[in-house]
């Protein structure tokens, strides 16, 4: 979980994730030089649950660098992604881990969207995407929520991890598909996905930089 200035949402994101984690799991959070109370909150929470490991200033900053650092620090063969403003649903890891195997290297889930009030939730699309259909979907759009990812750590590292850019997640999915990774999306929602007007991907500047991203043009190399 990367975090930056997330003091309003970090407690719920961390608590829900720890509640869903198995006892031998761990939650790694990289604080990216927050100027609010995010880091202080994380350190206080880590004192009551040893599964929470907090890092600050270990990477060069930015989402991609933070995620690559956390990948190297992760002790387990399976890794999951979480956002500092989303909510992990109680059954997430138990359910998704059962899907990883011969037919799936990366498993994404459906999501429940919510707004300013967590009670204002509404379900997203309920369709599943098979590994056979995923390459076609990715050629058209990014059909998966990054924070719903559960994956084999070794594969993410083998293709070089995340690259800095406006769509570090989509770029990685494209490289994984080209490398033969089996990616699926299940219809069961495993996260609560927070929608708010200040999301980076809603801005025109982000959309323009996404279209012009050289990483995406070379994802097949």
Which tens digit of pLDDT belongs to each residue from 55-86? 998 777 899 999 999 999 999 999 999 999 99
Assess contact for 31 and 42: CB atoms under 8 A: yes
Q: How much is the pLDDT for 125? A: 66
The Cα–Cα gap between 159 and 195 comes to 30
**How many whole angstroms separate alpha carbon 17 and alpha carbon 3?**
14
| Residue bearing the bigger pLDDT, 137 or 205 | 137
Distance CA 158, CA 179 (A): 9
List pLDDT tens digits, range 126-138: 689 999 999 999 9
Torsion sign over Cα 35, 41, 46, 52 = negative
Q: Would you place residue 6 in the very low, low, confident or very high pLDDT band (cuts 50, 70, 90)?
A: very high
Does 206 have pLDDT greater than 80? no
Check if the beta carbon of residue 152 is closer than 8 Å to that of residue 77.
Answer: yes
CA separation for the pair 151, 55 (Å, rounded)? 22
* Model confidence band, residue 198 (pLDDT cutoffs 50, 70, 90): low
**pLDDT at residue number 127:** 87
Spatial neighbors of 70 by CB under 8 A, at least 6 apart, are 1, 2, 28, 30, 55
Higher pLDDT among residues 125 and 62, named by residue = 62
pLDDT at 202 (0 to 100): 47
User: Using 50, 70 and 90 to split pLDDT, how confident is the model at 103?
Assistant: confident
Q: What is the mean pLDDT of residues 104-124?
A: 79
Q: What is the pTM of this model?
A: 0.85
Q: Please provide the average confidence, as pLDDT, over all residues in the chain.
A: 88
pLDDT at 165: 87
């Amino acid at each position: 979980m990367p975090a930056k200035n997330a003091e309003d949402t970090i407690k719920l994101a961390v608590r829900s994730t720890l509640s869903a984690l198995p006892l031998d799991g761990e939650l790694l959070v990289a604080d990216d030089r927050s100027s609010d109370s995010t880091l202080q909150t994380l350190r206080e929470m880590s004192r009551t649950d040893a599964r929470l490991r907090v890092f600050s200033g270990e990477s060069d900053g930015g989402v991609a660098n933070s995620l690559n650092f956390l990948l190297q620090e992760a002790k387990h063969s399976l890794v999951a992604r979480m956002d500092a403003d989303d909510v992990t649903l109680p059954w997430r890891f138990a359910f998704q881990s059962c899907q990883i195997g011969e037919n799936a290297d990366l498993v994404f889930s459906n999501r429940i969207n919510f707004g300013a009030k967590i009670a204002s939730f509404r379900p997203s699309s309920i369709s599943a995407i098979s590994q056979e259909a995923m390459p076609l979907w990715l050629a058209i759009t990014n059909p998966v929520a990054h924070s719903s990812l559960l994956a084999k750590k070794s594969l993410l590292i083998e293709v070089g991890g995340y690259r800095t850019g406006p769509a570090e997640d989509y770029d990685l999915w494209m490289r994984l598909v080209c490398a033969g990774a089996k990616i699926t999306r299940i219809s069961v929602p495993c996260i609560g996905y927070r929608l708010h007007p200040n999301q980076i991907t809603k801005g025109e500047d982000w959309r323009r930089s996404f279209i012009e991203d050289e990483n995406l043009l070379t994802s097949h190399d």
